[in-house]
Amino acid sequence: MLIYILKRIIMIIPVLIGLSLLLFVISRLLPGDPVGLAAGPRATLEQIEALRVEFGLDKSLPVQYFNYIAGLLSGDWGASLITRRPVLDDLRIYLPATLELVVFSMTLSVIIGVPLGILSAVRPGGRLDVVVRIASLASLSMPRFFLGLMLQLFFAMLLAWFPLGGRFPFIVFPPPNVTGFMTIDSLVAGDIQAFGLSLKHLALPSIAMALSPMATILQLTRASTIETLNQDYVKTARAMGLSQRLILFKYVLKNSLSATLTMTALFVGWALSGTVLVETIFDWPGIGLYATHSVISQDFMPILGVSIVIGLIFIIINLIADLLYGMLNPKVQYK
């Protein structure tokens, strides 16, 4: 098992090299002008030339790539033009906020999506199933940014139940930073009020984030549950007199989950891209907001940094999904 995990971790390395190569190619070979982008719109010709040398862009492409990789590995991910700080430092500040949002919204979408998927699979074509499936198609069609805006409009502006945006009110002292997760930090500090506040701030962005992965998870769970329900061993469980609840939520769930899991992980990875939109709307200080700010001010290095981080998270989630798949499927042997 341990050896298998190690092997899988080692297998990440070529993927990472590929990812960096891809981003390098995009940044260097496309008809855009990275130096012009990096120098900002008001740079003079001399400044641009100086930057060109500074970035090593006067060297050959392989050398450039080597330098780029060496930079990535040594923690030099370039600097942001807006914040005037190294990209890596910025990411360290913004990443926990994004992770908190992603973890929260994914939990939400799994908690709602999986049971609904199972229930609608019990009677395919039944009334519940049709309603749930149309609702899930609708949620998939709902643009996150529109949903976010409407949630903001109704629940923050008109009803004022929730704050408009941000992670924590400016006028209140935040709990001391331990994990970077506001909710956990406030619990660690024993500050119930702060916990409530951070939950309130989390609520709307999480819902806006959760809706479409929830629909996807629901559909996947439904499909694999239908398949599982047709298996012979479900017939056995029925004939042995096990209750419908036990059959569905213990026996069928485990079987259909192992089939759903890998796909779900893939979609969780894709859902990460939703943070860009949701964070922009709710002013959530995460890497998505960081990326949009950078895009608007044509600040290229932070965008590269954010994409590397998102790629990394995606790879790690997939690895975890693979390992979980093995745990749910006793037949899989780790080699």
Partner 1 sequence: MSAKLYAVTSAPNSIWRQNFKRALYRFRTAPLAVPALIVVMLLLFAAAFGPLVAPFENDIYGAVDTGSRFMAPSLEHWFGTNDLGQDVLSLVLGGARITLVAAFIVVCMGALIGTLLGACAGYFGGFIDSIIMRSTDLMLILPSLILAMVIGAALGAGLNNLILALVVSWWPSYCRLVRGEVLSKKEELYIVATRALGARDSRIILKHILPNVSQVLIVRMSMDIGNAILMIAALSFIGIGVKPPTPEWGLLLSLARTNLPDVWWTAAFPGIAIFLAVFSFSIVGDALRSALDPKSTRF
Partner 2 sequence: MAFLKISDLNLFMDGFEGSNHVLRGINLSIEQSEIWGIVGETGSGKSMTALSVCQLVPCPPGRFTNGSILLEGQDLMATSEAEMHKMRGSRIGMIFQDPTTYLNPAFRIGTQLIDVALSAARNNPSIFGEEQVRGYRNRRRMAKKISIEMLDKVGIPDAAKRCHDYPHQFSGGQKQRILIAMALIGQPKLLIADEPTTALDVSVQAQVLSLIWSIKQERDLTVLLISHNLGVVAQLCSHVAVMLEGEIVEQGSIEEIFDNPAHEYTRRLLDALPSGNRRERLETAAAERLASDA
Positions that interact with partner 1 (CB under 8 A): 15, 18-19, 21-23, 26-27, 30-32, 34, 37, 124-125, 129-130, 133-134, 137-138, 140-146, 149-150, 152-153, 157-158, 226, 269-270, 272-274, 276-277, 280-281, 291-292, 294-296, 298, 300, 303-304, 306-307, 310-311, 314-315
Q: Does 235 bind partner 2 (CB under 8 A)?
A: yes
Q: Tokens 């798949």 sit at which residue? A: 325
Distance, in Å, from the CA atom of 12 to the CA atom of 313, rounded to the nearest integer, reads: 12
Smallest separation (angstroms) from partner 2 to the CB of 244: 8
Smallest separation (angstroms) from partner 1 to the CB of 194: 28
| 295 DSSP assignment | H
Taking the least distance from each CB to partner 1, the nearer of 143 and 196 is 143
Q: Does 47 bind partner 2 (CB under 8 A)?
A: no
Stretches 30-38, 215-223, 243-251, 270-278: which one binds partner 2 (CB under 8 A)?
A: 243-251
Smallest separation (angstroms) from partner 2 to the CB of 8: 22
Q: Which of 255, 264, 280, 294 binds partner 2 (CB under 8 A)?
A: 255
Distance, in Å, from the CA atom of 248 to the CA atom of 139, rounded to the nearest integer, reads: 25
Q: Please count the CA atoms within 13 angstroms of the CA of 173 that sit on its side-chain side.
A: 4
Taking the least distance from each CB to partner 2, the nearer of 193 and 244 is 244
Tell which positions 256-275 bind partner 2, by CB under 8 A. 258
Query: Is-contact 274 212, C-beta < 8 A?
Result: yes
Among 287, 280, 320, CA closest to 92: 287
48-to-65, 83, 252, 269 alpha-carbon distances in Å = 20, 20, 62, 37
Stretches 67-75, 158-166, 254-262, 309-317: which one binds partner 2 (CB under 8 A)?
A: 254-262
Q: Tokens 């419908």 sit at which residue? A: 244
Choosing among partner 1, partner 2, none, which partner's interface includes residue 23 (Cβ < 5 to 8 Å by kind)? Answer: partner 1
Taking the least distance from each CB to partner 1, the nearer of 175 and 302 is 302
Taking the least distance from each CB to partner 1, the nearer of 101 and 276 is 276
Choosing among partner 1, partner 2, none, which partner's interface includes residue 231 (Cβ < 5 to 8 Å by kind)? Answer: partner 2
- Residue 210 CB partners (closer than 8 Å, separation 6+): 105, 106, 108, 109, 112
Distance, in Å, from the CA atom of 6 to the CA atom of 206, rounded to the nearest integer, reads: 34
Stretches 107-115, 127-135, 233-241, 298-306: which one binds partner 2 (CB under 8 A)?
A: 233-241
Taking the least distance from each CB to partner 2, the nearer of 197 and 253 is 253
3-state secondary structure 238-285: HHCCCCHHHHHHHHHHHHHHHHHHHHHHHHHHHHCCHHHHHHHHHCCC
Taking the least distance from each CB to partner 1, the nearer of 194 and 204 is 204
Q: Tokens 């061993």 sit at which residue? A: 233
Q: Does 237 bind partner 2 (CB under 8 A)?
A: yes
Q: Which of 13, 29, 240, 335 binds partner 2 (CB under 8 A)?
A: 240
**Chain centroid, CA 150 distance in Å:** 22
Q: Does 333 bind partner 2 (CB under 8 A)?
A: no
Beta bridge partners of 209: none
Number of helical (H) and strand (E) elements in the chain, helices listed first:
15, 0
- Residue 131 CB partners (closer than 8 Å, separation 6+): none
Task: Give the DSSP H/E element, type plus range, for residue 51.
Answer: helix 45-54
Smallest separation (angstroms) from partner 2 to the CB of 323: 16
Q: Which of 83, 231, 273, 292 binds partner 2 (CB under 8 A)?
A: 231
Question: Applying CB under 8 A, which residues contact partner 2?
Answer: 231-233, 235-244, 246, 250-251, 254-255, 258, 328-331
